[in-house]
A and B are shown apart, each in its own frame.
Chain A
Amino acid sequence: MSDWVLIIYCGIITYLTRFSMIAILKKEMFNNRVREVLSYVPSAIFPAIIFPAIFLDDLGVFQFEDNPKILAAAIAMIIGILSRNIIATIISGLASYWFLIFVV
Chain B
Amino acid sequence: MNSNFKIFLKGIIDVSPLMIPVVPFGLIYGILAIDIGFSPLATMGMSLIVFGGASQIILLQLFSGGASSLVIISSVGAVNSRHLLYGAVISEHVSDLKLIWKIIVSYFLIDQAFATSNEYFKKSKEKNKHFHLIGGGFTCWVVWQTTTFLGIILGAAIPEKLGLSFAVPLTFLAILVNDFRKLINLIVIIVSGLVATLGFNYIPYKAYVIVAAFTGLFVAMVLTKMIKNYE
Asked if chains A and B come from one complex, the reply is: yes
Do residues B208 and A21 form an inter-chain contact, with CB atoms below 8 A?
no
B59 touches A80 (CB 8 A): no
Interface centre among A10, A30, A62 (most CB of B within 10 A): A10
Complex CA distance for A56 and B200, rounded to whole angstroms? 9
Q: Which residue of B lies closest to A59 (CB)?
A: B201
The complex places the Cα of A26 from the Cα of B102 at a distance, in Å, of 12
A13, B88: Cβ atoms closer than 8 Å: no
Instruction: Tell whether B31 is near chain A: CB-to-CB under 8 Å.
Output: no
Residues of B within 8 A of A72 (CB): 166, 170
Q: How far is the CB of B177 from chain A (nearest CB, A)?
A: 4
Q: B204 within 8 Å of A by Cβ?
A: no
Inter-chain contacts of B1 with A (CB < 8 A)? none
Contact B86 A13 (CB under 8 A): no
A42 touches B192 (CB 8 A): no
Given contacts A22-B102, A27-B96, A45-B213, contact A7 B42 (CB under 8 A): yes
Which of B46, B89, B167 has the largest number of chain A CB atoms within 10 A?
B89
Q: Give Cα A97 to B24, complex, Å.
A: 14
Q: Is the interface of B mostly helix, strand, loop or mixed?
A: helix
B-contact bits for A48-83, CB 8 A (1 contact / 0 none): 111111111010101000000100110011001101
Most buried by B among A21, A58, A62: A21
Size bracket, chain A contacts: 35 or more
List residues of chain B with CB within 8 A of the CB of A84: 177-178
Nearest A-chain residue to B172, judged by Cβ: A46
Q: How far is the CB of B98 from chain A (nearest CB, A)?
A: 12
Assess A17 versus B80: contact at CB under 8 Å? Given A52-B197, A52-B208: yes
Residues of B within 8 A of A23 (CB): 102, 106
Chain B residues 77 to 102 lying within 8 A of chain A, measured CB to CB, are: 77, 80-92, 94-96, 102
Residue ranges of B at the interface with A (Cβ–Cβ < 8 Å)? 17-18, 20-21, 38-39, 42, 45-46, 49-52, 54-55, 59, 61, 63, 69, 72-73, 76-77, 80-92, 94-96, 102-103, 105-107, 109, 111, 115, 118, 122, 161-163, 165-181, 184-185, 188-190, 192-197, 200-201, 208-210, 212-217, 220-221, 224
Taking A6-B72, A21-B91 as known contacts, 17 extra A-B pairs with beta carbons closer than 8 A to each other, sorted by chain A number, are A3-B38, A7-B50, A11-B49, A13-B77, A14-B80, A20-B84, A20-B87, A30-B92, A38-B89, A41-B213, A42-B176, A45-B216, A47-B212, A50-B176, A52-B200, A80-B180, A94-B163
Which A residues contact B (CB, under 8 angstroms)? 1, 3-4, 6-11, 13-15, 17-27, 30, 35-56, 58, 60, 62, 69, 72-73, 76-77, 80-81, 83-87, 89-91, 93-94, 97-98, 101
